Amino acid sequence: MTIPGFTDHVEILDQTRIAFSKGGNGPPLLLLHGFPQTRAMWARIAPALSRRHTVICPDLRGYGDSGKPTGVAAYTFREMAQDQQALLHHLGFERAAVIGHDRGARVAHRLALDAPELVSRLALLDIIPTHTLLADLRRDVAKAYYHWFFLAQPEPFPETMIGHDPDAYYHSCLLGWGGAALNDFDDDALAAYRTAWRDPQTIRAMCDDYRAAIEYDFDHDAADLDKRIPCPTLILYGAEGAMARAYDVPATWAGKCTEITARTVPGGHFFPDTNPDDTLATLQAFLS
């Protein structure tokens, strides 16, 4: 799926294929998608943002048209964040605003910790910190976010189960975590998601993403518990989402940011897909 008005590109950066769409003019803005999606999730948001920004929408490694290296260690948020550093540098940008949803938000958080000089503004959409979720795991959260632990099981167990009917499994993800119906999603975006997740290598890579969170990312975050995001940060979350039901979401971030703004958008976890207009308006206000 091509984002309207954008051009599609592929670059090999540090031996990893990164596919991305780029459009607009102005200060750079990096948009990072989540699980189980691709950069197509930004198709109804990125064109409006590109009126004032040069907008870059990559597929995370393991997702969409980007490369799918082998080995769990290749899928840490640190590795994914390094992809984004390499991409921005390749495009000639020394500093960018960054917006991430779901896994993309976790990559954006790691990017802001590892390369704070690169991130001018940060928006984290519908997550709480990885370390907080795993270290203080509660029964209601474990039930809602069971997929963290299913996908993290050793290969090939989850891959085999999902591979039997990828659409059925990933549809269940899109319809969970706050509730939605398939007709809430754009038809072209859904088609792009399905094309991606029907690839056995994408299924394997997305499982490795979740394996890495438990095997590596938790320890990376534990080592950085005292670090704070130095740039203005927007915490944006679905008012009816699983995280909003389980947590005071802004409070989970308050001690991790030097300057924080918190807002809600009507909808569940996938509000950028299901409520792009309110999402766009909130992001535009933050960026300007």
Catalytic positions are: 102, 269
The span from the CA of 243 to the CA of 139, in Å, is 13
Q: How would you list the strands of the sheet with 7-13, edge to edge?
A: 7-13, 16-23, 54-58, 28-32, 96-101, 119-125, 229-238, 257-265
Ranges of H-type helices in 115-213: 130-135, 139-144, 147-151, 157-163, 166-174, 187-197, 200-212
Q: Are 112 and 98 in contact (CB under 8 A)?
A: yes
Residue 168's contacts (CB-CB under 8 Å, 6 or more residues apart) are none
The span from the CA of 284 to the CA of 288, in Å, is 6
DSSP 110: H
Length of the chain equals 288
- Per the structure block, which two tokens stand in for 244? 């909003």
Beta bridge partners of 12: 17
The span from the CA of 234 to the CA of 46, in Å, is 17
- 45 Cα distance to chain centroid: 15
- 134 Cα distance to chain centroid: 18
Of the candidates 98, 140, 110, 69, the one whose C-alpha atom is nearest the C-alpha of residue 218 is: 110
